[in-house]
Amino acid sequence: MAALIHRAEYAQYDFGPEHPFTPARLDMLLDLLRELGVPLDLQAAPAATREDLLTVHDPAYVDVVEALSWGEPKPGADAFGLDTPDNPVFPGMDLAARWLVGGALQGARLLMGGAETRVLQLGGGLHHAQRSRAAGFCLYNDLAVAIRALVDHGWHVAYLDLDLHHGDGVQSIFYENDRVLTISLHESGHYLFPGTGHIHELGSGYARGLSVNVPLEPFTGPADYLEAFEAVVPQALANFAPQVLVVQAGADAHFDDPMGDLVLTTQAFETLHRRIIELADQYAKGRLLVTLGGGYEARVVARVWAILVLTLLDRPLPEALPEAWVARWLPLLGPHPPRFLQDPVPPHPPIPGEDLRHRHNQDNLARLLDSLSRFWL
Amino acid sequence: MLVREMMRSPVTTLSPEATLKEACALFQARDFRHLPVMEADRLVGVLTDRDLRWVTSSLCPGRLGLEDPVRGAMSHPPITIAPLDPVEDAARIMREHKIGCLPVMDGARLVGILTGMDILDTLIRLTGISLPSSRLEVALADRPGELARLTAFLAARNVNIHSILTYPDPDQAVRTVLRIGSSQARTLADELTRDGFRVLWPQPKPWPH
């Protein structure tokens, strides 16, 4: 079983109708879970305070977010990544983001207090937010604030990022911290935002070897992805021996997602979700804190995250999607809506270049493991 | 980018009368591979780790000993560059002579040193990722105004350009690689294609949506 954290105010994190990071993604998920008859005992968490934010963010940056949030004009906001196409300004954005940070922080507190061992925050996963910069739809780094609290509790924290994009904000905030291991699997920064996450980014100082990046070629599918995951993640966790595993479970590495070009399937996500539970049990004392993340295709995100929720709740996965749900969300699902929770087999036409892609991924993985072997016992 | 923005200074130098043993100790202690050789205030040569290895090798016909002076081992006359010369000149000279460093001379005065590593640092600075950004690659027609049309397109959408690199394409186009401050490169690529640009990356999805 898992504790679920959510509150209606999460919907305030809304950059407007033209923006991909829409709260409808979460509404679709909750509606699907209800329609599937999943009992949802959602815990509402208090908003994070300014002091909570300052454990990972610069006061000058938080000042600017607050001012813009009240409607006070701030020339030069773009130097903080604000008032940009990715992070447009909207009234109340400071509080909207603090609700999400509060949820992740509440999840950390439940774990630290021993009340729960498995927590899922239904929202958040704002992994691009940096110490003093908004980026990639992320205003405050909810994951980093939660990780900081867990570290301050005296724990070693392992962070695993399954989003399509490199988890650059979390990595950079803990780049020199030897109590935090960050692992990110993502489409290669040579092609995709934010451009980082290369194998040579290994952490610095005492934390050298504690930033682990698995960049994958465009159009990498489940076989290569899962092979890389198994080659890196269990050994990294075994070596680091964390007291808790924090996971950003973005859904945008799915083949239908418009943002990038990894081609995972719902079946691959199910495998990953089951593995993170096993890995937390095996290497992190069973403690697991999961947030959502990226994921921008209405036909996909609710399905992938429903698999996540059902897996964490130890419930069986249904085959068909409820007709009432499909009918209700038809405007977003399009003229040929999905009818099943899982993807069809085969999921999509074959993509040329498989051999080259596989070889490149293998080479990269070998180089990464070679570098890491210097730090692993 | 100018040499003076990339060079290192102050410069450690050697006297031509220093022994090879002293030079070797300095190379080892400070991790040097090249040192300018100064006689009074005049640059007379450059001693490289390759020079040092060769003249002390058993394969060298006029092999020198550890107590011999640097004068007999150094490369000379030195090939130099000026602080206001551009980086591309420095790269071309180093490539042409197949050498690893250039003493930087302001008139007769040694003001810095530039090595192959500094050129690589510059390449990393020019092509590297300094801020979260997406890659956008467009083949522009080789005629006036095309780059302006592209940058105006991005400016109209409030998209910041972090870096821009162009080079000639085999099929007569100007390949233009931009790092842009937005994660929504595919949306922009679709719009660019509609506006008649030839977008090389990101590509449309390989199956119909």
Subunit contact A85:B132, Cβ cutoff 8 A:
no
How many angstroms separate the CA atoms of A230 and A257, rounded?
24
Tokens of A51: 């002091």
Q: What is the mean pLDDT of residues B169-174?
A: 84
- Closest by CA to A229, choosing from A195, A208, A253, is A253
Type of residue found at A336: H
Residue A85 lies in a domain: no
Residue numbers in B near A344 (CB within 8 A): none
Residue from the list B129, B135, B182 with its beta carbon closest to the beta carbon of A84: B182
Q: Which residues of B touch A84 (CB under 8 A)?
A: 158-160, 181-182
Distance CA A236, CA A375 (A): 10
Would you say residue A77 lies in a domain?
no
pLDDT digits (tens, 9 = 90+) for A65-75: 999 999 998 99
Number of domains composing chain A: 1
Q: Is residue A64 part of a domain?
A: no
Structure tokens at A30: 């909750």
Probe site for chain B from A15, A86, A186 (most B CB atoms < 10 A): A86
H or E stretch at A268: helix A266-283
pLDDT for residue B72 is more than 90: yes
Give B124→chain A minimum CA distance, Å. 13
Contact A156, A237 (CB under 8 A): no
Confidence of residue B21 (pLDDT cuts 50, 70, 90): very high
**Which domains, and CATH codes, for chain B?**
3-123 (3.10.580.10), 130-201 (3.30.70.260)
pLDDT in tens, A123-173: 999 999 999 999 999 999 999 999 999 999 999 999 999 999 999 999 999
In the predicted model, is pLDDT for residue A23 greater than 80? Answer: yes
For residue B134, the chain A residues in CB contact (below 8 A) are 192-195
The whole-chain average pLDDT of chain B stands at: 94
Q: pTM of the predicted model, to two decimals?
A: 0.91
> What is the sign, positive or negative, of the torsion defined by CA atoms of B186, B192, B194, B200?
negative
pLDDT (tens digit, 9 = 90+) per residue, A184-234? 999 999 999 999 999 999 999 999 999 999 999 999 999 999 999 999 999
Residue B107 has pLDDT above 80, yes or no: yes
What is the per-residue pLDDT across B179-196, written as a single tens digit (0 to 9) for each?
A: 999 999 999 999 999 999
Residue at A217 is within a domain: yes
What token pair was written down for B125? Answer: 């600075």
Q: How far apart are CA B165 and CA B136, in angstroms?
A: 11
Q: Among A6, A128, A165, A166, which one carries the catalytic annotation?
A: A128
Residue B128 pLDDT grade (very low, low, confident, very high; cuts 50, 70, 90): confident
Annotation marks residue A360 as catalytic: no
Span B146-160, average pLDDT: 96
User: Cβ(B74)–Cβ(B51) under 8 Å?
Assistant: yes
Confidence of residue B205 (pLDDT cuts 50, 70, 90): confident
Query: How does residue A351 score in pLDDT terms, banded at 50, 70 and 90?
Result: very high
CA angle A251, A257, A258 (to 5 degrees): 140
Better pLDDT: A80 or B123: A80
Cα dihedral B88, B89, B91, B92 sign: positive
pLDDT at B208 over 80: no
> Quick one: pLDDT at residue B152?
97
Kindly report, residue by residue over A292-319, the tens digit of the pLDDT: 999 999 999 999 999 999 999 999 999 9
Residue listed under structure tokens 């602080």: B83
C-alpha distances out from residue A54 to A12, A62, A145, A250, Å: 22, 8, 9, 25
| Alpha carbon distance B1, B91 (integer Å) | 12
pLDDT of residue B30: 96
Determine, yes or no, domain membership for A89: no
CA distance A302 to chain B (A): 18
- What gap in Å lies between CA B17 and CA B27, rounded to an integer? 16
A73 in a domain, yes or no?
Answer: no
ipTM of the complex: 0.89
What's the average model confidence in pLDDT over A36-46?
96
The reply to whether B134 touches chain A by the CB within 8 Å rule is yes
Label residue A1 by pLDDT band (50, 70, 90).
confident
Checking if the pLDDT of B117 tops 80, the result is yes
Report the residue of chain A nearest B134, measured CA to CA.
A193
Mean pLDDT of A49-53: 98
Are A195 and B179 inside 8 Å of each other by CB?
A: yes
A26 closest CA partner among A40, A8, A39: A8
Residue of chain A nearest B183, judged by CA positions: A193
Q: Give domain status of residue A59, yes or no.
A: no
Residues of chain B with C-beta less than 8 angstroms from the C-beta of A128: 132, 183
Residue type, B6: M
| Chain A residues in contact with B202 (beta carbon < 8 A) | 191, 261
**What's A265's domain CATH number?**
3.40.800.20
Of A81, A137, A258, the CB nearest to B186: A258
User: Distance from CA of residue A305 to its chain's centroid?
Assistant: 11
Domain that holds residue A16: 3-52+94-373
At B209 the pLDDT is 62
